[in-house]
Each structure stands twice: as C-alpha cells, then as structure tokens.
C-alpha cells in the first residue's frame, strides 16, 4: 500500500506494508539512519522519534497509524531545547560508542519541553527507558541539568 | 637477543636456514591444505516442502453459570461464582495493571515492568515516558508490544496485587475505591475494551480463562445472587 | 615490584600478544607482534588490502594538508573506548599541533601499511605509544628543519606551538601548510627526540577530548547498520536455536512469497534470507520452516552444566587440568582448618547496543567488507578463505562500532564470515547482514561459564599460608592452555605469604562458543580474589584495607599500594557512614592498569543499591583524564550490570535470555555516582577500556558481606523474578 507520511517537515510517499515498523521506513526507505535499531521490542529507546511532539519508539509504531502525524527524527530535531541539549552533550563529551545517543537526545529534548527544571527523579523516570550499554548515564544526567540551566538563563 | 651481535656470522646464517625453511614449507603445505579444504565439495540442503506444524491451542475454560445452580445456598453460590470469576481477575493479564505500587508488572511471571515506568498523574505515565511512548491502540506483532486504546494503570485505590480474592471483591464493590456502582462495574467487566484485551493479549501471553462473554455471565450471576464476597 | 615478578609479567605480556595477535591459517600463518620473520611472511601474503592509504611523507599514521589540518590515522577500532582521542593526542603532543585542527580517520585494513590491525586487551594505547609519538616527533623535526633552512637560522632557535612554527629571535612564523612543501623534502629522522612527560602541554590535560562527539549527537555517525550501497540486499539468517545444531532441512516456499524477499538458501550457519529491505528479510525469516539436527548439539540446562563443572573441579572427570601457578609443594595436604570457597559465574552476552552486522560484496577476486570489527587482519584472512582469494584482495573499511566489548573480535570472525557466505550467493550485489537483538543474545561467543573452588589455610599471622585454586571454564580460543581465564590469579600479590600455591584450570569442551568479554578473565577472577581477600581479612579480624596493605607491602606491589592509599583517602574509608550503608573495596590489575574501587551500598527490598563509587586508577601517564573518567564510569555501569543481572542461561540447550527484558542492562535510575581519581605517573601508559570493570562486583559483594554477614558465592546477585530492573532510584 502507499502511504503519505510527514517526516522532518517534508511529505514522503512510501510504498510498503502498513505493518512495517516506522523505524525501518525511516532507515531503509527514507535513509534517515540516525534513528537506530537496538532491540526491536521497545526496551532500549535507541529508535525514539517525536510523533506530534511526543517521544515514541519507532520500532513499535506501524507505518499505517502514523500517516497523519508529524514525525521528527534526530536529523531534524530543533528548537531551544534541542540546541541546549546538543550543546550540553558536546560540552560534556557524553557519547562513547554513541549508538544510543540519538534516542537519548530525543527523549531529553522531550523531557525538557515538558519539564523546565527536571529533578533527578524526573530524569530517572523520563530516561530509564533508554539503555546506554556504555553506561554514560551520569554524563547524560549532568548534561540534561546543564541544558535546563541554559534554557532557564534564556527565559530570564 | 643482546648477545647475538657478538656471535660470528657463520652460525647466524645456519640458524637462519634452519629457521626459514620449515616456515616456508609449512606455509606452502598449509596453503595447499587450505585450498583443498575450501574447494572440497559440500552439499547444502535445498528448500523442500515441510508441512506447517499444527499448533494445538490450549484454552482454559470457565465453568458455565449452570454449573453453580446446584449450590442451594444463595450466599454460597454467589461466593462460588465470584471465585470462578476470580480466575480471571487474578490472571496476570488483569493483575499486571492493578499493581500495589506506581509501577506495573508484566509477563505471565508478573515481574516488574521493564523498562521502569511510573503511573504518573493520570495512570498513563510520566512526562517523556508515557504508556503511549511504546503502547499503541492494538497489539503489534512486529515488536510484540501489546496495545489498547485505553492502555493505562488501574488507580492505586484499585490495587489488587498482594490482596486476597475477598479483599479484591470488597474493593470492587466499594464505590469509593472502584469509582463504580454495580451497574457500572458490570459494564466495565463485560464491555470495557481494555478488559477485553485480557482475552486477546497477543504474543506469548496466556489469555485470561474463558471468554469475556462467559466471564460477563458469571459476573452477572454473581451480582444477581447478591454479590457476596469470599472471606 | 620484585625482579621475578617483572620477568613473569613480561612473559605473560608477550604470550598474550602472541595469542591475541596471532592467528593460524591452516596452521601456518602467524601474525605476531613480536616475531619479525613471520610478520614479513604474513605481510607478503596480505599485501595491504584493496586500496592503499593516501601517501604521506610523514609515514602511514600522520597526514598534514594544505588546509593546515593534521590527520591522524587510527588503525584500531573505535567502539566507544575513545581510542581516536588517545592516538590523536600522542601525535599532536609531539608535533605541537593545534588540537582543534587535528582530526582522526579510520584506517582500512592494510597489513603492509599499518602492521597487524587488532584491537584487543586494552592494548591500543600501550602498543601505539612509541609509534605515534615518534611519528609526531618526526614530522615536527621535519618542520623545524624546513623552517630553519628557509629562514637561515639554527634549528635550535625554532619553536612550534599550536601548529605555528616560529623563530624566537626574528619573530618570523609560518603555518604547517606554508612549510609543507619544504618539510616534505626533509628526510624523516629515524629516532626523533621525544618530549619528557613534564613538558607535555596537551597529554594529561582536560583539553584532550573526544573527536567524534558531533556526529554522534546529530545522527550523522555511520555505523555498519547504517551502510547503504547501490543495489544492496539485506540478509537475515535463521540460526540453530541450540549451540552445535546443524541444519537438517528447510522449507522456504512461504518466505519466498513475501514481496521484496529475493532468495533463501542454506549456508553453513543456517538458512539465509535475502531481501530488498530489512523488514522483508525479517518477515521472510519468520516464514521459514526449519528442522535442525541436534545430535551434536548442547541440550543440557544451566544447572546441569554447573553440576558437571563442580564434578570437573573435584577431579571426578577425565579432564586433565593445566597447571598455571605453582609454588612450594603443590601436592601438599591441607589441614582440617582449611577455608573453602566456591563461586559460580554464568555465561554473559556482550549485548552491545548495535547487534552484529556486516556489509560485504564479492566481485570476482575482490572482496569488499564494511564493518565494525576488532580483528581486521584476521578478518582479511578469513574472508579470503571464504571468498577463494588472497587476503590482499580483501578491502575492509573499518567502521565505528555501536559498542563491542569483545564481541566484534572473535577468532573465527563469525559474523564477517557469515556475511561473506551469503555474499557468494548474490551475484556480486552487496549484502548487509543484520542480526536481530535476539540473534545477537543467543549467538554465543559469551564470557564463559566459570566455577571457582579455592582452599586456603591461614598462617598464625592471619595471612595465607597455603592456597589451592581450581578454575573450571571453557577456553575462549583454542590456544594458550586457557591462561586467559586464570589472569588475575596468576602472579597475585596475595600469594606472597603463602609457602604453597597450587593453581590449576580445567577446560571442559562443549558446543557453546565462548569469547573475549570486556576484561576477559578478570571478569570473574577479580570477583573471586577480591571477595576471598575480604573474607580472609574478616577471618583474621583485620580491616580489609589494612589486610591488603600488609600483603601488597610484602609483595612489593608499589602500584597497588599507591592505589590503595589514595582509595582510602578519597573514599573516606574508615569514616562513619549512615546506618544501613556500608563501603566495600576491591583492587585489581587488568592489562597492566591497576584500579581500586570503593562502593557505598545498602540493601533495599532485598537487593543491593549502590549510590556512589569512588575509583582510583593507575594507568601510567594519563593521556585524557576526561576519557579515563568516562571509561571508569562506563566500566562501573557495565560491571554492575553483570554483577546484579548478567546471566545467559540454557534450558535444554535453548538460550533463555534473548532481549533486554530478560537480560536487563543497568538503567539511568540505577547508575551510581562515580568519582574518578588518577594516580600521577610517569610510567608508560596502559589501557583503560577494560580495567575498570573487574573491581565493582567484588566491591559490592564486600559491602554486602558487611551488611548481611553472608558471602556472595555466585553471580548475578539477582535472579528469577527479582531480575527486573530496580524500581528504586539510587538517589532517593
């Protein structure tokens, strides 16, 4: 079947089975490979994208249900939160192997869009769906707090 | 080999000859062996018709309401009916979303939900980690993640885990905790789509016993017989 | 350190290098670091590989461009450990290059240009320390000479700082780019003068930061999973669900009906399905009907295997042990007051977040491979064997790996070979082999299952007088007599007071494949030795730190002593801690790096909660303090995952843990705070990718020993229904 999907502000016509996970549509068809396959069962968070602004695991998102949604991937996530998060990630050299970091960043941006000054508890709940096998968690946490600080500085 | 610099050239040359020749021979022999090994013809199985394995579906049944007609005491009959309904209520499909903490359990083993999720203000998760981050409106075969339009936790007042069947019974009959009168309770049991999911959970999950219709009939008979609770 | 210990260590190093670096092709082709002669033989056969590297007058590892950028060629695999950064810093320091204009590129497989390309044993920093400093210093000398000639001044009066060459007297200056032509006419010096560590401006500073962060935070980094070539096919393989199972027959008729599925065929490791895209390959594989011949397969369950291992350790089987440590009379009878210790460790999967994958194309004699792989040189040899060509025709583009931890470095090049076997069927079309997470977890090459049994007699002074130690585990590679699983016991400073040491390893063989898992043997011996020491200290009524101190002192283990002293100081060892909390300590030496850790632990809901780890490391001259800290944090998370949860178990031979729901990985809410302290050192640097892993499990176990009074006798600490990730934040 043919589906029209909105990804990163563009409309794409995709010819595929409606049950195909969005993850593979993004990666194989649209060549947006920043979104990673890590587990395929919504355990690791490496495939997180934003669907109408909400973080979602694209490995468990069938193509047929996202045809009317706005999808944003790591390649195009932008705005104050995304900039602050990326700057904080860079300043702290968060990534090691880096494979999970697209998903981590997508979740961190979503968290900061909802909670301006997240506590450690907020970070735990929002980010514990994202596995980092290199265990860069402490730097991720610190970078989220840094980014929140940057964003607060911008608003005051 | 600090000393070797001082040794005369003659033995050195001899040592070299002894050292080099076997290596070359071994290398040549190994290459020949490797080529023989690699080129040696091997046959690989080809595709051939194999009948699909017959899956024997084992469905656990609920006892029909008529089975309980023989119990003369109405209160006893009501309790027996509820005990039968309890087989559904206490199945992992129902219990997993009626946890006693803020965190659901999962699988037939009812282990803590992985990843860590929390009920949040509306029972459907916290910021950036909502139920809908992973769960959709339907079960999704490609990922094995179950789904339902109403996917969320029962309110904490309706925690069932760690409670006896009698306690669960009194809890659901208490509108202060269940937020339902008996009519609403009945509708929830027989019509609610999230409850219905318990019989079509997908994946490797064991469905709740019987069918939702059979369950509804038992609930109705239980309420009709006074809605009595086990002790 | 005593004379004999140095000797022994050097011997072990050489042997390890030979074995790690060594491969056997048909029993002949030895690729060794140490032997020059076989290397030349190998070089002649390997003949580089595919495309030759960009020629550079500054040698194979350094290029300087007209844009004034310095490019450092990394011949190892970057898998998160930060080897990019460390290697670049070695060059930049000696060259006095502007760090912000240094970039790193990954070398393709090319034996002739780079020598053996093997990333293992946390060895990349140590093994490149001379080569890359020399490369940087040689280039520097050439620029100095060029500038001196151009300005007619003496080379001694030329200074280089941040890629600017200047003459102090006249104030003249030039960039590398401006001097490039002149410099490239200079003869590279054979033995350029190297800086003294105290003169370092870059190495050891916080300026030495990662070179690959930007692509990793924008989604731009290309891993093997992301490779896209024109006309490329995607393949998945149905593997035997049991180790050692062989394909009996299969029916692909349903699979071939799925749109975009191109072909399905048998290969040595199962049934391959190739398709135009990943999801079609997945659906095609799901639609296969496959029957396996399990006559030679492993069909036992984990408890049965452990019972068998216990029998082996007791000497009740015909498996002959290999003696790896001996002192005094090893057959000495132990008295009745002997203390006995047993430990069981399960199989562990590496579970890197990027599951195994490989891209390959066979075009006549030419083979092209794109993959993240630790043992590139070995892969070239294996690829040539499968593709019926010579290694020199195998062009490997080494990509960064989404984690590896040893998994992408197997003696058989398993996933590379599998991909090539598929590529033989695709008529020259490139093929990307994708393993699912389930394939990866059930795919073997695990850290072996291990059983330890130790009998120790204490002398009147409370220190070990006799120590008998039996280890049972499969070999990871069939060479070396399984010494890798004895590392961490061999040469232990805790043997110093013992008059009798009897160390043996039994190596049962069965079809589950084992491999190198981050920190290798230390992943279990570290736990055993360090947890035993705390129990001995307890027996002797001594503080565990004092007990260690006395043994290190007598063993002359100066680096251990320094780490211990610093660890006590920084962790607040001996100072009061809140009720319900306890500190546990462990110190291990892994691949030449000494690491000590103190964990602060409490028991909550029956499980240990670790809130903070204080770590001290002696890794020689620290190159990047920030990345040393990063590896320490990561290693603690990795080691704690294994300590709390890590287990791959078999039931009737079937792997039970196939994804992160049943093989939990430590998550954000469970990660302790980590404080890293680096010992100042002028010794040659040693590795940091693995040595932070071993101490955390015993540190936690030692704290639990204080809290509960019970020793830990097996890992993981949690199992069964308690296995799910903690619902407790370590910060609450």
Which CATH number is A25's domain given?
Answer: 3.10.20.30
Task: Report the CATH number that the domain containing residue A92 is assigned in CATH.
Answer: 1.10.150.120
Whether A134 sits inside 8 A of C637 (CB atoms) is: yes
Tell me the three state secondary structure of residue C146: helix
Among A99, A100, A105, A126, pick the best mutation site for testing chain C contact (most C Cβ within 10 A): A99
d(CA C620, CA C687): 9
User: B61: which 2 tokens?
Assistant: 């049944």
Among A18, A76, A134, pick the best mutation site for testing chain C contact (most C Cβ within 10 A): A134
Tell me the three state secondary structure of residue A47: coil
User: B149: which 2 tokens?
Assistant: 């339009």
Q: Which residues of A touch B127 (CB under 8 A)?
A: 110-111, 114-115, 122, 125-126
Res B9 pLDDT > 50: no
Whether chain A has a CB inside 8 Å of the CB on C365: the answer is no
d(CA C710, CA C201): 50
d(CA A82, CA C219): 13
**Using CB atoms, which residue from B126, B128, B133 is nearest to A57?**
B133
User: B138: which 2 tokens?
Assistant: 């339907």
pLDDT of residue C729: 65
Contact indicator for C650, C589 with CB cutoff of 8 Å: no
How far is B107 from chain A, CA to nearest CA, in Å?
Answer: 14
- Contacts with C303 (C-beta within 8 Å, 6 or more apart), sequence order: none
CB environment C246-284: b (16+ within 10 A), e (fewer): bbebbbbebbbebebbbbbbbbebbbbbbbbbbbbbbbb
pLDDT of residue C723: 56
**Using CB atoms, which residue from B132, B133, B143 is nearest to A40?**
B143
d(CA A133, CA A59): 19
- The CA angle B51-B57-B61, to the nearest 5 degrees, is 165
pLDDT of residue C726: 63
**pLDDT, average across residues C411-440:** 97
Residue C320 DSSP class: P
Whether A60 sits inside 8 A of B140 (CB atoms) is: yes
Confidence of residue C2 (pLDDT cuts 50, 70, 90): very low
d(CA C200, CA C93): 7
Residue B109 in domain: no
Whether chain B has a CB inside 8 Å of the CB on C37: the answer is yes
CB atoms under 10 Å from CB of C67, counted, come to 9
Res C624 pLDDT > 80: yes
Chain B: list its partners (3+ Cβ pairs within 8 Å).
A, C
Confidence of residue B1 (pLDDT cuts 50, 70, 90): very low
Host domain of residue A133: 80-155
Whether B19 sits inside 8 A of C266 (CB atoms) is: no
Q: Which residues of A touch C226 (CB under 8 A)?
A: 27, 33
**pLDDT, average across residues C455-460:** 96
Tell me the three state secondary structure of residue C184: helix
How far is C385 from chain B, CA to nearest CA, in Å?
Answer: 7
**Do the bridges between strand C339-345 and strand C450-458 make them parallel or antiparallel, or are there none, so unpaired?**
antiparallel
d(CA C195, CA C176): 20
Compute and round to an integer the Cα radius of gyration of chain B. Answer: 34
User: A56: which 2 tokens?
Assistant: 């979602």
Tell me the three state secondary structure of residue B16: helix
**pLDDT, average across residues C533-547:** 98
| A40: nearest CA partner in chain C | C437
Interface of B with C in 44-83 (CB under 8 A): 44-50, 52-53
Share of chain A above pLDDT 70, in %: 99
Q: Which residues of C touch B110 (CB under 8 A)?
A: 721
| pLDDT 10s digits, C96-106 | 999 999 999 99
Whether chain C has a CB inside 8 Å of the CB on B25: the answer is no
**Using CB atoms, which residue from B117, B127, B134 is nearest to A60?**
B134
User: Across chain C, what does the average pLDDT equal?
Assistant: 91
d(CA C312, CA C59): 53
Contact indicator for C166, C160 with CB cutoff of 8 Å: yes
Interface of C with B in 496-525 (CB under 8 A): none
Instruction: Look at residues C527, C521, C562, C520 and name the one whose alpha carbon lies nearest to residue C1.
Output: C562
Whether chain B has a CB inside 8 Å of the CB on C664: the answer is yes
Long-range (24+ apart) CB contacts under 8 A made by B133-136 are B133/A42, B133/A48, B133/A54, B133/A55, B133/A56, B133/A57, B133/A129, B134/A42, B134/A56, B134/A57, B134/A60, B134/A129, B135/A60, B136/A60, B136/A61, B136/A62, B136/A65
Res B6 pLDDT > 70: no
User: What strands lie across the sheet with C102-106, from one edge to the other?
Assistant: C62-64, C70-74, C102-106
CB atoms under 10 Å from CB of C156, counted, come to 9
- Residues of chain A that touch chain B, judged by Cβ-Cβ distance less than 8 Å: 19-21, 40-43, 45, 48, 54-57, 59-62, 65, 107, 110-111, 114-115, 122, 124-129, 131
**Do the bridges between strand C431-434 and strand C450-458 make them parallel or antiparallel, or are there none, so unpaired?**
unpaired
Question: Burial, B170: exposed, middle or buried (Cβ in 10 Å; 0-12, 13-18, 19+)?
Answer: middle
Interface of C with A in 177-216 (CB under 8 A): 209-210, 212-216
Confidence of residue C27 (pLDDT cuts 50, 70, 90): very low
Res C43 pLDDT > 80: no
End-to-end CA distance of chain C: 44
User: B198: which 2 tokens?
Assistant: 């318990």
Whether B34 sits inside 8 A of C264 (CB atoms) is: no
Contact indicator for B220, B182 with CB cutoff of 8 Å: no
Higher pLDDT, C8 or C174: C174
**Using CB atoms, which residue from C38, C385, C721 is nearest to B111?**
C721
Helical H segments across C237-301, by residue range? 253-257, 278-286
d(CA B35, CA C97): 49
Share of chain B above pLDDT 70, in %: 90
How far is C106 from chain B, CA to nearest CA, in Å?
Answer: 31
Torsional sign, CA B215, B217, B220, B226: negative
Question: Burial, C233: exposed, middle or buried (Cβ in 10 Å; 0-12, 13-18, 19+)?
Answer: buried
Contact indicator for B222, B81 with CB cutoff of 8 Å: yes
pLDDT of residue C37: 39
Regarding whether A116 and A92 lie in a shared domain, the answer is yes
| pLDDT 10s digits, C664-714 | 999 999 999 999 999 999 999 999 999 999 999 999 999 999 999 999 999
d(CA C602, CA C88): 42
Residue C110 DSSP class: -
* Cross-strand bridge partners of residue C464: C458
Confidence of residue C435 (pLDDT cuts 50, 70, 90): very high
How far is A11 from chain C, CA to nearest CA, in Å?
Answer: 20
Whether chain C has a CB inside 8 Å of the CB on B20: the answer is yes
Higher pLDDT, C613 or C479: C613
Tell me the DSSP string of C405-436.
TTTT--TT-HHHHHHHHHHTTTTT--EEEE--
Structural domain total, chain B: 1
How far is A19 from chain C, CA to nearest CA, in Å?
Answer: 10
Regarding whether A65 and A40 lie in a shared domain, the answer is yes
Confidence of residue C168 (pLDDT cuts 50, 70, 90): confident
d(CA C660, CA A39): 7
Residue B20 in domain: no
How far is C671 from chain A, CA to nearest CA, in Å?
Answer: 7
Contact indicator for C90, C129 with CB cutoff of 8 Å: yes
Res C564 pLDDT > 50: yes
Regarding whether A38 and A94 lie in a shared domain, the answer is no
Q: Which residues of A touch C627 (CB under 8 A)?
A: 93
Reported ipTM exceeds the 0.95 cut: yes
**pLDDT, average across residues A121-126:** 94
pLDDT of residue C18: 39
Compute and round to an integer the Cα radius of gyration of chain A. Answer: 15
Tell me the DSSP string of C541-597.
T--HHHHHHHHHHHHT-HHHHHHHHHHHHHHTTTS---TTEEEEEEEEEETTEEEEE
Residue B209 in domain: yes
Helical H segments across C249-348, by residue range? 253-257, 278-286, 302-313
Chain A: list its partners (3+ Cβ pairs within 8 Å).
B, C
Whether C219 sits inside 8 A of A73 (CB atoms) is: yes
* Cross-strand bridge partners of residue C674: C613
The helix-helix angle for C522-539 and C625-644 (nearest 10°) equals 80
Contact indicator for C25, C380 with CB cutoff of 8 Å: no
Contact indicator for A25, A63 with CB cutoff of 8 Å: yes
Res C11 pLDDT > 70: no
CB atoms under 10 Å from CB of C326, counted, come to 12
Whether B111 sits inside 8 A of C724 (CB atoms) is: yes
Instruction: Look at residues C77, C674, C131 and name the one whose alpha carbon lies nearest to residue C372.
Output: C77
Q: Which of A72, A98, A127 is the last residue of a domain?
A: A72
Whether C228 sits inside 8 A of A99 (CB atoms) is: no
Regarding whether A150 and A89 lie in a shared domain, the answer is yes
User: A54: which 2 tokens?
Assistant: 């909400």
Whether chain A has a CB inside 8 Å of the CB on C225: the answer is yes
**pLDDT, average across residues C354-369:** 95
Contact indicator for C23, C385 with CB cutoff of 8 Å: no
Higher pLDDT, B3 or C57: C57
Q: Which residues of A touch B129 (CB under 8 A)?
A: 55, 107, 125-129
d(CA C203, CA B38): 49
User: What strands lie across the sheet with C593-604, from one edge to the other?
Assistant: C581-590, C593-604, C607-618, C673-678
Confidence of residue B19 (pLDDT cuts 50, 70, 90): low
Confidence of residue C112 (pLDDT cuts 50, 70, 90): confident
Q: Whole-prediction pTM value?
A: 0.92
Res C433 pLDDT > 80: yes
**pLDDT, average across residues C574-596:** 97
Which backbone phi and psi does C353 adopt, to 5 degrees?
-70, -25
| pLDDT 10s digits, C193-219 | 999 999 999 999 999 999 999 999 999
Res C25 pLDDT > 50: no
Confidence of residue B215 (pLDDT cuts 50, 70, 90): very high
Residue B143 in domain: no
Confidence of residue B34 (pLDDT cuts 50, 70, 90): confident
d(CA B138, CA C358): 34
Q: Which residues of A touch C661 (CB under 8 A)?
A: 41, 43
Q: Which of A44, A72, A100 is the last residue of a domain?
A: A72
pLDDT of residue B18: 57
pLDDT of residue C605: 83
| pLDDT 10s digits, C70-85 | 999 999 999 999 999 9
Regarding whether A29 and A49 lie in a shared domain, the answer is yes
How far is B214 from chain C, CA to nearest CA, in Å?
Answer: 32
| pLDDT 10s digits, B155-193 | 999 999 999 999 999 999 999 999 999 999 999 998 999
Res C189 pLDDT > 70: yes
| A86: nearest CA partner in chain C | C217
Regarding whether A140 and A90 lie in a shared domain, the answer is yes
| pLDDT 10s digits, B107-146 | 999 988 999 899 999 999 998 999 999 999 999 999 999 9
Instruction: Look at residues B44, B49, B41 and name the one whose alpha carbon lies nearest to residue C271.
Output: B44
Residue B148 in domain: no
Host domain of residue B70: 52-101+155-224
Regarding whether A33 and A68 lie in a shared domain, the answer is yes
Structural domain total, chain A: 2
pLDDT of residue C731: 65
d(CA C422, CA C448): 29
Tell me the DSSP string of C199-251.
G-SSTTSTT---SSHHHHHHT-PPPGGG---TT-EEEEEEE-SBTT-EEEEEE
Confidence of residue C28 (pLDDT cuts 50, 70, 90): very low
Residue B96 in domain: yes
């Amino acid at each position: 079947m043919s589906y029209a999907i909105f990804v990163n502000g563009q409309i794409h016509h995709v010819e595929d089975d409606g049950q195909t996970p969005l993850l593979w549509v993004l990666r194989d068809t649209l060549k947006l490979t920043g979104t990673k396959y890590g587990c395929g069962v919504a355990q690791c968070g490496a495939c997180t994208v934003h669907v109408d602004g909400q973080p979602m695991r694209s490995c468990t998102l069938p193509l047929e249900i996202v045809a009317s949604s706005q999808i944003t991937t790591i390649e195009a996530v932008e705005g104050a939160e995304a900039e602050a998060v990326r700057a904080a990630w860079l300043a702290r050299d968060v990534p090691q192997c880096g494979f999970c970091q697209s998903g981590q960043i997508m979740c961190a941006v979503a968290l900061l869009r909802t909670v301006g000054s997240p506590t450690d508890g907020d970070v735990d709940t929002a980010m514990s769906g994202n596995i980092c096998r290199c265990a860069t968690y402490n730097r991720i946490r610190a970078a989220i707090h840094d980014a929140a600080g940057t964003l607060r500085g911008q608003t005051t | 080999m600090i000393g070797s610099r001082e040794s005369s050239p003659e033995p050195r040359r001899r040592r070299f000859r002894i050292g080099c020749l076997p290596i070359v021979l071994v290398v040549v022999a190994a290459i020949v062996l490797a080529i023989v090994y690699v080129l040696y013809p091997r046959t690989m199985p080809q595709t051939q018709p194999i009948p699909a394995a017959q899956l024997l579906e084992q469905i656990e049944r609920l006892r029909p309401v008529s089975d309980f007609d023989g119990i003369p005491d109405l209160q006893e009959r009501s309790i027996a009916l509820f005990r039968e309904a309890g087989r559904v209520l206490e199945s992992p499909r129902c219990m997993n979303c009626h946890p006693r903490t803020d965190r659901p359990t999962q699988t037939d083993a009812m282990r803590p939900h992985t990843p860590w999720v929390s009920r949040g203000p509306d029972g459907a998760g916290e910021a950036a980690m909502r139920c809908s981050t992973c769960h959709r409106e339907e079960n999704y075969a490609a990922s094995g993640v179950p789904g339902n339009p109403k996917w969320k936790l029962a309110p904490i007042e309706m925690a069932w885990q760690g409670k006896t069947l009698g306690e669960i019974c009194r809890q659901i009959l208490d509108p202060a905790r269940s937020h339902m009168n008996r009519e609403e309770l009945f509708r929830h049991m027989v019509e609610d789509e999230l409850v219905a999911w318990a019989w079509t959970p997908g994946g490797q999950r064991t469905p709740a016993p019987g069918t939702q219709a059979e369950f509804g009939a038992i609930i109705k008979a239980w309420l009709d017989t006074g809605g009595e609770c086990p002790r | 350190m005593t004379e004999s210990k140095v000797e022994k260590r050097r011997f072990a190093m050489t042997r390890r290098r030979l074995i790690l670096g060594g491969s056997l092709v048909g029993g002949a082709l030895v690729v060794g670091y140490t032997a020059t002669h076989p290397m030349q033989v190998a070089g002649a056969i390997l003949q580089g590989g595919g495309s030759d590297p960009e020629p550079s007058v500054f040698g194979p590892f350094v290029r300087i461009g007209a844009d004034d950028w310095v490019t450092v060629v990394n011949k190892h695999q970057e898998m998160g450990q930060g080897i990019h950064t460390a290697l670049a810093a070695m060059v930049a320091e000696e060259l006095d290059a502007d760090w912000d204009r240094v970039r790193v590129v990954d070398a393709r497989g090319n034996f002739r240009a780079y020598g053996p390309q093997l990333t293992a044993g946390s060895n990349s920093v140590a093994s490149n320390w001379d080569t890359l400093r020399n490369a940087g210093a040689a280039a520097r000398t050439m620029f100095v000479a060029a500038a001196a000639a151009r300005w007619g001044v003496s080379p001694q009066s030329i200074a280089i700082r941040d890629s600017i060459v200047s003459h102090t007297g006249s104030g003249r200056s030039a960039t590398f780019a401006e001097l490039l032509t002149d410099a490239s006419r200079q003869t590279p010096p054979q033995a350029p003068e190297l800086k003294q560590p105290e003169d370092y401006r870059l190495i050891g500073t916080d300026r030495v930061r990662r070179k690959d962060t930007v692509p990793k935070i924008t989604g731009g980094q290309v891993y093997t999973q992301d490779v896209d070539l024109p006309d490329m096919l995607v393949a998945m393989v149905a593997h035997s669900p049991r180790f050692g199972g062989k394909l009996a027959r299969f029916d692909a008729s349903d699979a071939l009906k799925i749109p975009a599925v191109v072909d399905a065929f048998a290969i040595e490791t199962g049934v391959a399905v190739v398709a135009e895209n990943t999801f079609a390959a997945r659906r095609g594989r799901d639609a296969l009907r496959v029957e396996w011949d399990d006559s030679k397969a492993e069909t036992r369950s984990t408890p049965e295997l452990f019972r068998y291992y216990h029998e082996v350790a007791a000497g009740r089987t015909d498996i002959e042990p290999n003696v790896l440590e001996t002192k005094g009379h090893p057959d000495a009878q132990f008295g009745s007051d002997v203390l006995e210790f047993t430990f069981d460790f399960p199989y562990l999967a590496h579970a890197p977040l990027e599951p195994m994958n490989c891209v390959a194309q066979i075009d006549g004699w030419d083979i092209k491979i794109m993959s993240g792989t630790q043992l590139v040189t070995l892969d070239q040899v294996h690829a040539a064997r499968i593709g019926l060509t010579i290694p020199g025709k195998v062009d490997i583009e080494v990509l960064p790996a989404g984690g590896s931890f040893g998994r992408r470095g197997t003696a058989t090049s398993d996933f590379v070979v599998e991909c090539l076997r598929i590529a033989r069927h695709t008529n020259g079309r490139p093929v990307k082999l994708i393993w699912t997470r389930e394939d990866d977890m059930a795919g073997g090459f695990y850290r072996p299952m291990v059983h330890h049994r130790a009998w120790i007699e204490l002398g009147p002074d409370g220190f070990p007088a006799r120590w008998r130690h039996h280890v049972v585990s499969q070999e990871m590679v069939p060479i070396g007599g399984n010494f890798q699983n004895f590392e961490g016991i061999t040469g232990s400073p805790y043997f110093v007071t013992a008059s009798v040491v009897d160390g043996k390893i039994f190596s049962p063989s069965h079809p589950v494949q084992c491999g190198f898992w981050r920190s290798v043997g230390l992943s279990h011996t570290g736990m055993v030795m360090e947890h035993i020491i705390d129990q001995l200290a307890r027996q002797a009524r001594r503080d565990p730190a004092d007990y260690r101190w006395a043994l290190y002192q007598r063993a002359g283990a100066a680096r251990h002593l320094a780490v211990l002293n610093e660890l006590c100081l920084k962790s607040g060892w001996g100072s009061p801690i809140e009720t319900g909390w306890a500190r546990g300590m462990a110190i291990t030496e892994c691949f030449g790096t000494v690491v000590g850790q103190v964990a602060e632990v409490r028991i909550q809901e029956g499980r240990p909660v670790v809130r903070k780890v204080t770590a001290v490391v002696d890794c020689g001259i620290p190159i990047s303090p920030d990345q040393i800290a990063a590896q320490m944090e990561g290693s603690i998370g990795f080691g704690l995952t294994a300590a709390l949860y890590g287990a791959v178990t078999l039931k009737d031979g079937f792997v039970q843990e196939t994804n992160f729901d049943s093989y939990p990985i430590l998550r954000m809410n469970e990660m302790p705070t980590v404080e890293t302290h680096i010992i100042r050192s002028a010794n040659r640097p040693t590795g940091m990718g693995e040595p932070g892993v071993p101490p955390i499990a015993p540190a936690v176990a030692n704290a639990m020993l204080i809290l509960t009074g019970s020793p830990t006798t097996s890992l993981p600490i949690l199992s069964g229904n308690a296995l799910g990730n903690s619902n407790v934040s370590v910060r609450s």
